[in-house]
Amino acid sequence: MESKLRVEVLDFTDNALALIYAACRQCYSAGFAGDIAVESSKDPQKQADFVRQVAAAGHESPLEHVKCTFAIGGVSRALTHQLVRHRLASYSQQSQRYVKASPFEYIVPPSIDTDADMRAMYIETMDRIQDSYDRLTQAFADKGIKGERANQDARYVLPQAAASSIVVTMNCRELIHFFGERCCSRAQWEIRNVADKMLEQCRQRLPAVFEGAGPKCLNLGFCPEGEKFTCGRMPAKQTMKHEC
């Protein structure tokens, strides 16, 4: 059966703005961060303005003290293989060994979903894979092999389209990097959809940090992908004139 995308925040660091403010001020103050945090709590707008300037200036190490944990569901294994390449993060993913895929849910790419013939072919393929998986697990059961011992080998026939759920934790600095890469129009459509939803929720909770986050070209002022790959939203770096 088809699966639908879900992205929800499970946890966001409490007093995130005050924490970033105190951490950054500690870098330039002879005072103690604990006292700075107490004093600054009286003026949240001052905190927001300061953190906004810090983030815009690229002073990103204080952002590492704040983290966000997301529950992400209704995504393909193709998506999670891309996601876990972001190494400064923690992941807990649904296991195909311990969770039996009967029935398994799957993702239908938009390019296939909007073409009736391709969609029918795709669904038929998923149904055949499900049948193969079920017959394999039954064959294992006939031999007295059940549970994860059967699932761990039967899962080899499952497609990259198979839906999965994953819990992801990243600090703010890594999130900004993630959004710079994955909100880009050249990113694969599924991970871009996930990144856009994650960014939307981060902006709601911490706008001083995330209001300027998004595709890296927006902050750079040019497309770093080169003339061959640019989407045209920003000029390619090679076409820009440099002033001495």
Q: Rounded to an integer, what distance in angstroms lies between the CA atom of residue 60 and that of residue 239? A: 29
- Helix (H) or strand (E) run with residue 90 in it: strand 90-93
Catalytic residue among 182, 186, 192, 203: 182
User: What is the pairing mode between strands 67-76 and 6-12?
Assistant: antiparallel
- Residue 204 phi/psi, 5-degree rounding, is -65, -35
Task: Put the strands of the sheet holding 163-171 in their side by side order.
Answer: 6-12, 67-76, 163-171, 90-93
Rg, C-alpha atoms of the chain: 23
- Tokens 């990097």 sit at which residue? 177
182 labelled catalytic:
yes
Which positions are annotated as active-site residues? Answer: 182
